[in-house]
Structure 1
Amino acid sequence: MASLAQLVPVTLVLCAYQLVSGYSFHNCIAEPYSRGTFFKCIHRNETDISAIIGDLPPSVVNLTITINPLWHIPSHSFVHLLKLQDLRIDHNHLSVIDQSAFQDLHQLKSLNLSFNNISELNTSVFEGLHNLSFLSLTHNKLKQLPEGIFLSVINLETLLIRQNYLMNFSGIAKSVSNLTRLKILDLCFNHLTSLRHSNVSLPKSLTNLYVCRNKLSTLGCKPSFLRSVRFLDLSYNAQLLATAFQGVDLRRINYLRLRSTSVKVVEFLHISNINPSHVDFSGTGLRNDILLVDLCKMLAKKVKWIHNLRLSSNRIRNLTNYSLRHCPNIRGYVDLSLNELKSIRCLNFLNSHRDIQSFSAEHNHLTSLPTCKTKSVVYFRNLEELSYRYNRILSVNSHAFYHTPNIKQLKLNINNIAFLDRKALKGLERLETLRLDNNLLTDLFNDTFEDNINLQILNLRNNRISVIFNGTFLKLSNLTTLDLGGNKITHFEHSGVDGLKSLSKFYLDGNNLKRIEPSLFGAFQHTLKVLDLQSNMISFLHERTVFRPFMNLTKLSDLKLDGQRPYGLTVLPHNFFQGLHSLESLYLTNNNLFHLPPDAFDDLTGLRVFKNLRNVTKLIAENMGIQNFSQEVFGNLTKLRILQLNRNVMESIEVNALESLPKLHYLDIRDIPLSCTCKNTLLQNWTLKNKNVQVVYLYNLPCKQNEKYRFCKFDTKVCYIDLGEYLYFSTAAVIFLFTVTPLLYVKLYWKMKYSYYVFCAWFSEQWRKLREEEENCKYDAFISYNSSDEQWVMDQLLPNLEGNGSSFKLCLHHRDFELGRYIVDNIVSAVYSSRKTVCVVSRNFLQSEWCSLEIQLASYRLFDEHRDVLLLVFLEPISERQLSSYHRMRKVMLKKTYLQWPGSDCTDPEQAQDLFWNQLRRAIGSVNKLRTEEIQQSEGCVTTESEEKEHFESSDENDYLLP
């Protein structure tokens, strides 16, 4: 259950699509439900297009290759994708496209090559694309179009060549003249200076021509050249004059943009045959009453009425009752956006145009909306849409819209409204949509919306409302959408939402709600479909709380509870979701649900969260901290088709859990630290061989241990063994070791350690060589001593054995050991290349591990080979109690004679020392087999012991040398 709790924060989306087969691809993703026809290859670090699309199936119909370092499209790049209809290769680094790059794509309808570095195109680059209807070359570096480049694309309808460096319009006109179906030609953001052309004409099918943001100073075209054009955009050609239109036939133009040109509109209307109602006067410098009056008079001479009057971006600061009085009757839309108006005076400047249907004064400097319930007010009974967005309105006074009683859509959003009079919306009985979002409102009252009985959409998002008082929405029985998100609401009063009998979408996200009161949904419990409670402060202390807030929401299909502040939901009470039988989408992301009661999701029969999710087709569990994906938690998702687990922390995925998803065809496990070990062997095999599931970017998934290696390629050979047999023997061995090891550790620790050294030495080549040459030893004796006794060795032993007429050759570790060689090998070599080993025994010697190893090796040779090779020399008296722990040395002393260095208590030290050296020289010189003879004590200074307390054959040759 703990693992289940970690998996709860997911987004579940229900869909109803058929099962399709998917596959894994190196650099592309097949769109879910596309039946292998829609592919996206985005953000791939590849410069070779064959590496991107080489493994795509021939069924591809729609292909997107974007945001890649791709710079070249070779010939025949798409020869295996003959069914392509839509091809996007935009936002790359393309600079070279070979002549036959798109050869054989006879079914291609749309080609997007925008936002690249293309500076030239081959004449035949589009050859064979007979069905191409859309072509975009936007934002490249084209300076000209080759003649005849569009000869093959006879069905082209839309051609976008904006944001290039084109200068010759005549060449463009000639290139497109044969395109008899061309409807849209976009040449904006180029370097065209005129529309001059040779003896060619634009296609009669061309209706939309965009030549904005060029360097036009004149048109220079024949009078009938633009006869077929309906939409003409000439804006932002700063040098274009009204005289440029002299004689040009514009009678069929339905919309003409002249923004930011040098065209004087009155002069233009005087010389042009265009219908004035089809001209957009935005940005034409009509900044004062004089210019507006002149315009209106000219318009009145031309027509009796106009549908739209667009006057945005003219820097108009004030409008009087005379400004538009002489204009012909306006029946449609008046646009005064993007000006400098500070007051609209209840629209009195439109007193002669009471038939307008829509008015916009967005992006002005309005600071308030005054009361319009006066005797002189002008009523606009046909006005249905009113927009004051993007102003600086601080207050809306009472009856501010009394002059527009029939408006259906009112936009007051994105202002600074802090005061909304209780009677501000008085009389707006037909209002259907009200936008008050992104203001500074703090309070709503029970009479604020009392007249808005037909209101359907109310948006109050991102204000500063903290409490919803009783009766606030009492009269809004037709409201279907209420957005209170992004406020500071802490609670609703008891009847705060009464009256909302038709509410279907309720947004409360981003508030400060700490509890969900069941009474909150009483008014609309049978109509609510969407409830958004994300990013509030809802939490519970324990799961036993009797709490069923959604009990009666029988129609709720979408519930959002994700991201509760400050730490997220940690506990869900029993039966928390009781009653939600129709729920289809549940959002619990960014919470910390550590434990769930077993009945938490019992009532979600339409969803059946996690276990037995029989109706869910899409499960998104991204970045949830999931540590495991098991059949126990995700079991029996019989209709699941899409599973997204990317950016979680699981190191492995159980294959049996994936195999329990019979309709799965899309699996996203990117950015998961999958380990390339034997526990993922089955997963690797499943991802590579399952032809019904597309594993997103399978061939690029890295190993956790080293991102240079790929999950799909790690070696699994060592994993295919008879695990049962190996586990049996390994388990038996482990049990035996755990049983015997403590005993061996207590009794045989040092023996095992020394045996290890001996064993290694026994197998070494040096040992074999020494055994072969043992009769021709290199040294007479190897001297084993502790460094604290080195002075006695150098001052006494060395001169008496190698000097004074003696011819012995001794092996000393500081002088004769081979530099750089392992010390154990040096010791073994010294013991076996010497006829004798002389151990200079002292209390320090007994405490030295290396000295003990040397006597161990020598005694091993003594007992194993029965050769008299070990001599013990005691430098100081050592009691039997002190030697009792050193069993090996005790055994040698019992069977072998040892020498005692004469002490200061001798009666004649010099004579005793001479005797000591003679005995030692004779012992080193002896080559006989092991003897048991004793050397008698001389003058009480040289001590021998010969009591055989144990028989040699009965002695344990494997006793420890050290305790």
Structure 2
Amino acid sequence: MATILILALASIFRLSLGDQHPVIESNDVIANFSYSTWTSVPKNLSVHTTILDLSHNFIQKLQTKDFDFLLDLRVLIISYNQITEMDSHVFDDNIYLEYLDLSNNRLENISNTFPGNLRHLDVSSNNFTTLSVCRGVTNLLQLEYLGLGAANILKSDLESVSHLQLQQVFIDLNGLYKYENSSLLVLNTNSLHLSSLYDQKDLFSVLFDAVKTSTVLELSNFGKWELGKVYDDYISAIVNNSRVTHLTLRNLGLQWINLVHILQKIWYSTLEGLYVYNFIIQGFITHMPFDYCKTTMKELLFDHVAVQGFLFNQSDLYSVFSEMNIKNLTITNSNLLFMPCPSKPSTFEYIDLSRNAVTDSIFQGCSMLTKLKTLKLSGNKLEKLSKVSLITEKMVSLQHLDVSQNPLDYMEEDCHWSASIRKLDMTYCSLSSSVFRCLPKNATMVDLRKNDILEVPLEITYLLNLENLDLGYNRLSDLPDCTLFPRLSILSVEYNLLPYPSNEALKNCSGLKHINMGNNPFHCFCEMNRFINERIKSPGKFLGWPDDYVCERPDNLKGIKLKDFYLPEMYCNVFIMVPVIVVPIIVGLILVFCLCKYLDIPWFCKMVWQLVRTKHRSRSSKKGYQELRREFSFHAFVSYSENDASWVRNTLLPSIQSMNDIRICQHERNFTPGKTIVENIINCIDNSYKSIFVLSPHFVQSEWCHYELYFAHHKLYSESTDNLILILLEPIPQYLIPSRYFKLKALMKQRTYLEWPKEKSKHALFWANLRAAISINLSELEQESPAPVPSVST
């Protein structure tokens, strides 16, 4: 947060003070009270404050007590207030003060002594009559910047600072009443900045001295110069006596004829660089002859140029610049429509026509720019990428091309780039992935940030010399195939849509020296482990690590830095997962199976399930119990083989009959004499609620048992009752059951039967199931069963 504040304040200072802004350090304590309507210096300041901004308030007086506790104060900006008075010792305790700005106030006189460490002092734009303030800065031997201004500029005042080695002097000439000739010449400075001179009568006197004072001269806010032929000699004298090598003009207006005239004059001077900002070309524009010979001029810059006239020949204006025999030409923010091709081989090495209205017809077929190394056409109206390539086709020395911020489009046309292009800037152009089919083959650096690129096609022409590729702020979902660029050493894919780089892409890009993948929506799953491992192997390779590498998904990890993300390898590696997880599971299942087998748990489960089902059926048939009590004489009829009679008499019947007076129909005692065996079987089955069949290998060999099973089976389907109970006394292999016993086979497949367990521990559950199967109360029957009859062998 402190860093952001520092950068923000630095930007403010640059805007208000130009290049002369205070140096802000990381440990500075900043107090910004600008634009806060203060009428006096606030008292709630930290004693550790090092930078204090009180500009643009309503403070009228500065007192000693205002700053005496700020012992660490290094920068004080108190410009644009209403200060009329200051205590003479107001800054005595601020021994570390280096930067003091008192400009744009209402001071009429200063008798203060300033701290000896002062490097920057600006007292311009006050109400000084003379520059007597200079006498108070005589001892400031470390002073580098001095800002002044007064109604009268006298040589004697400026002589007080003539011994100081000043890097820059700023003089506000607004309201100048008198200028003493040769006053500026006593200054010892590398750069002189004069501002706001509107009086034409002093213009040439001031300029004549200014051009001889310093090699770097800036003139700002000079209004509109109305120069006639009478001033021709003055201009010649100024130019001929000038030692200025770099001249800056700001907020100036000239007639077209005067502009060309002055340019022609300074063309023969010592001037090497001319920089013009916020310039207005007035009057009618016509063709003007211009002699480009014998010049030391190397650089010409026009920024924010406006033409007041509308009807003029574009060539009359632009040809003056296109034919110049200089190295650097810059015309920006000026609504420039086109620039004609020079009529002869040009000396231009640098041309910047950014932020104009140039179309892709500029320099088409131009073969005169053979020395041009840098061409900047950003922020214009270029549309066809193939036409842009034709602009460069005959520029045999072109190395850097900037066509960013243009509405470019590529429709698979042939491209004809200059073979010399090494650096190409195409940011903010809304280009798609097809742009890779139209790139200079010999380019070493390509900047394609902020476009609409989804992928890098595999079928593109190999860029064998490409070393730096910037694909930030696009829509890539994976790294490009770096094998397409064998010399690639720097790759940027920040702010794309990479969930995680694939293993193959990381492997193909392992030869990169630097890669920036920060600020992508990373998915922190198993696939991310490989990337993190690659980063550990190459700690200096990934730019922006670790702050720019943050998890986006899953939601529970959102915001977690990748350096803090950890997922055990066993969750991601199948070869580790099998022995660590799968094998124990298999072993556990085998142990469970063996344990179940040993304890016969499946049998217990089976019996419990039968018990539950029986209870459910019993509850479902509860409504018919009243009718059943009137119709049945026995709870159950038992059918068994004579070979199993001992188990039935000694085990089954005693256990059943002990269950709440359950009545059992037995052929040995309940068959009626005189009736046939078949009739007795049918009567017993009809008069019994249930039919119990004791199944064993002996049962399937008994003919009578088959009859009993047949009639019980018939009753099961004819009456739709659940009256069968099968007890498997001994296992019966399927091959022992005769084919004529198909009903028994069907019943054993369809019906659940009770198995008689050999272990005594299981007997209790067996009897519970059987009791539930015979769950009906027949205690209210009025008739007793017939007397026992002789046994009939079955």
Q: Give the TM-score band, short-chain normalised.
A: 0.5 to 0.7
CA shift in 2, pair 1:876/1:314, >3 Å: farther
* 2:791 alignment counterpart: none
* 1:632 alignment counterpart: 504
CA shift in 2, pair 1:148/1:355, >3 Å: same
CA shift in 2, pair 1:661/1:855, >3 Å: closer
Is 1:488 the counterpart of 2:230 in the alignment? no
* 1:211 alignment counterpart: 123
CA contact (8 A) 1:627 1:648 kept: yes
Is 1:873 the counterpart of 2:624 in the alignment? yes
Is 1:664 the counterpart of 2:538 in the alignment? yes
* 1:269 alignment counterpart: 180
Partner SS state of residue 305, structure 2: coil
Partner SS state of residue 435, structure 1: strand
* 2:581 alignment counterpart: 726
Partner SS state of residue 424, structure 1: helix
* The one of 498, 506, 520 aligned to 1:647: 520
- For residue 122 of structure 2, what is the amino acid of its counterpart? Y
* 2:641 alignment counterpart: none
Is 1:146 the counterpart of 2:19 in the alignment? no
* 1:363 alignment counterpart: 278
Counterpart CA distance in 2 for 1:714 and 1:593 is 23
Uncovered stretches (5+) of structure 2, i.e. residues with no partner: 11-23, 34-41, 593-601, 639-657, 667-685, 694-724, 728-752, 755-768, 775-794
Partner SS state of residue 146, structure 1: coil
Counterpart CA distance in 1 for 2:353 and 2:204 is 39
CA shift in 2, pair 1:931/1:396, >3 Å: same
Q: What is the CA-CA distance between 1:476 and the residue it aligns to?
A: 1.2
Q: Which has the larger radius of gyration?
A: 2
Q: What is the CA-CA distance between 1:322 and the residue it aligns to?
A: 3.8
Deviations 1:230-277 (A, max 9, x none): 655446x8xx6549998673434665434376xx43425379787489
What do you get for the CA RMSD once the two structures are aligned? 6.1
CA contact (8 A) 2:519 2:550 kept: no
CA contact (8 A) 2:146 2:170 kept: yes
CA contact (8 A) 1:644 1:667 kept: no
* The one of 532, 536, 561 aligned to 2:425: 532
Q: What is the CA-CA distance between 1:366 and the residue it aligns to?
A: 1.9
* 1:475 alignment counterpart: 368
* The one of 196, 204, 216 aligned to 1:296: 204
CA contact (8 A) 1:316 1:340 kept: yes
- For residue 455 of structure 1, what is the amino acid of its counterpart? F
Q: Which moved more, 1:110-119 or 1:214-223?
A: 214-223
* 1:793 alignment counterpart: none
Q: What is the CA-CA distance between 1:503 and the residue it aligns to?
A: 1.2
* 1:946 alignment counterpart: 688
- For residue 174 of structure 1, what is the amino acid of its counterpart? D
CA shift in 2, pair 1:314/1:324, >3 Å: farther
* 2:555 alignment counterpart: 704
CA shift in 2, pair 1:538/1:753, >3 Å: farther
Is 1:430 the counterpart of 2:315 in the alignment? no
Counterpart CA distance in 1 for 2:153 and 2:437 is 75
The 5 Å alignment of 1:808-823 reads: none
Counterpart CA distance in 1 for 2:472 and 2:625 is 81
Counterpart CA distance in 2 for 1:591 and 1:427 is 37
- For residue 606 of structure 1, what is the amino acid of its counterpart? R
Partner SS state of residue 583, structure 2: helix
CA shift in 2, pair 1:642/1:119, >3 Å: farther
Counterpart CA distance in 2 for 1:421 and 1:232 is 42
- For residue 487 of structure 2, what is the amino acid of its counterpart? G
Q: What is the CA-CA distance between 1:161 and the residue it aligns to?
A: 1.9
Is 1:160 the counterpart of 2:43 in the alignment? no
CA shift in 2, pair 1:360/1:710, >3 Å: closer
The 5 Å alignment of 1:416-455 reads: 419-420=314-315, 424-425=319-320, 428=323, 430-438=325-333, 440=335, 448-451=341-344, 453-455=346-348
- For residue 651 of structure 1, what is the amino acid of its counterpart? C
Q: What is the CA-CA distance between 1:557 and the residue it aligns to?
A: 0.9
CA shift in 2, pair 1:174/1:122, >3 Å: same
What is the number of equivalent residue pairs in this alignment?
600
Q: What is the CA-CA distance between 1:480 and the residue it aligns to?
A: 0.8
Is 1:112 the counterpart of 2:24 in the alignment? no
Counterpart CA distance in 2 for 1:757 and 1:234 is 106
CA contact (8 A) 1:90 1:113 kept: no
Counterpart CA distance in 1 for 2:45 and 2:505 is 57
* The one of 928, 941, 944 aligned to 2:660: 928
CA contact (8 A) 2:466 2:485 kept: yes
CA shift in 2, pair 1:659/1:717, >3 Å: closer
Counterpart CA distance in 2 for 1:222 and 1:539 is 63
* The one of 500, 519, 544 aligned to 2:395: 500
Q: What is the CA-CA distance between 1:496 and the residue it aligns to?
A: 5.2
Counterpart CA distance in 2 for 1:639 and 1:174 is 58
CA contact (8 A) 1:356 1:380 kept: no
* 2:220 alignment counterpart: 312
Is 1:338 the counterpart of 2:251 in the alignment? yes
* 1:33 alignment counterpart: none
More helix by share: 2
CA contact (8 A) 2:210 2:217 kept: no
CA shift in 2, pair 1:642/1:242, >3 Å: same
Counterpart CA distance in 1 for 2:569 and 2:478 is 39
CA shift in 2, pair 1:194/1:930, >3 Å: farther
- For residue 382 of structure 2, what is the amino acid of its counterpart? K
Counterpart CA distance in 2 for 1:361 and 1:953 is 112
Q: What is the CA-CA distance between 1:319 and the residue it aligns to?
A: 2.9
Counterpart CA distance in 2 for 1:320 and 1:715 is 80
CA shift in 2, pair 1:734/1:480, >3 Å: farther
Is 1:329 the counterpart of 2:238 in the alignment? yes
- For residue 347 of structure 2, what is the amino acid of its counterpart? N
The 5 Å alignment of 1:562-711 reads: 568=453, 572-574=457-459, 576-578=460-462, 580-589=463-472, 601-602=482-483, 604-607=485-488, 616=489, 619-635=491-507, 637=510, 640=513, 643-652=516-525, 653-661=527-535, 663-665=537-539, 695-696=546-547, 704-705=555-556
Counterpart CA distance in 1 for 2:177 and 2:154 is 14
- For residue 626 of structure 1, what is the amino acid of its counterpart? L
Counterpart CA distance in 2 for 1:712 and 1:113 is 32
Partner SS state of residue 307, structure 2: coil
Is 1:390 the counterpart of 2:299 in the alignment? no
Counterpart CA distance in 2 for 1:463 and 1:379 is 29
* 1:774 alignment counterpart: none
Q: What is the CA-CA distance between 1:454 and the residue it aligns to?
A: 0.9
Counterpart CA distance in 1 for 2:383 and 2:567 is 58
Uncovered stretches (5+) of structure 1, i.e. residues with no partner: 1-42, 44-64, 69-87, 93-107, 127-134, 151-157, 399-417, 608-615, 671-693, 738-747, 759-851, 860-869, 881-889, 897-925, 935-943
Partner SS state of residue 401, structure 2: strand
CA shift in 2, pair 1:722/1:397, >3 Å: closer
CA shift in 2, pair 1:665/1:139, >3 Å: farther
* 1:912 alignment counterpart: none
CA shift in 2, pair 1:423/1:452, >3 Å: farther
CA contact (8 A) 2:305 2:334 kept: no
* 1:801 alignment counterpart: none
Q: TM-score, normalised by structure 2?
A: 0.57
Partner SS state of residue 502, structure 1: coil
Partner SS state of residue 278, structure 2: coil
CA contact (8 A) 2:350 2:373 kept: yes
* 2:446 alignment counterpart: 559
Partner SS state of residue 319, structure 1: coil
CA shift in 2, pair 1:707/1:313, >3 Å: same
* 1:611 alignment counterpart: none
Partner SS state of residue 180, structure 2: helix
Q: What is the CA-CA distance between 1:210 and the residue it aligns to?
A: 2.5
Counterpart CA distance in 2 for 1:456 and 1:722 is 64
Q: What is the CA-CA distance between 1:452 and the residue it aligns to?
A: 5.2
Counterpart CA distance in 1 for 2:232 and 2:221 is 17
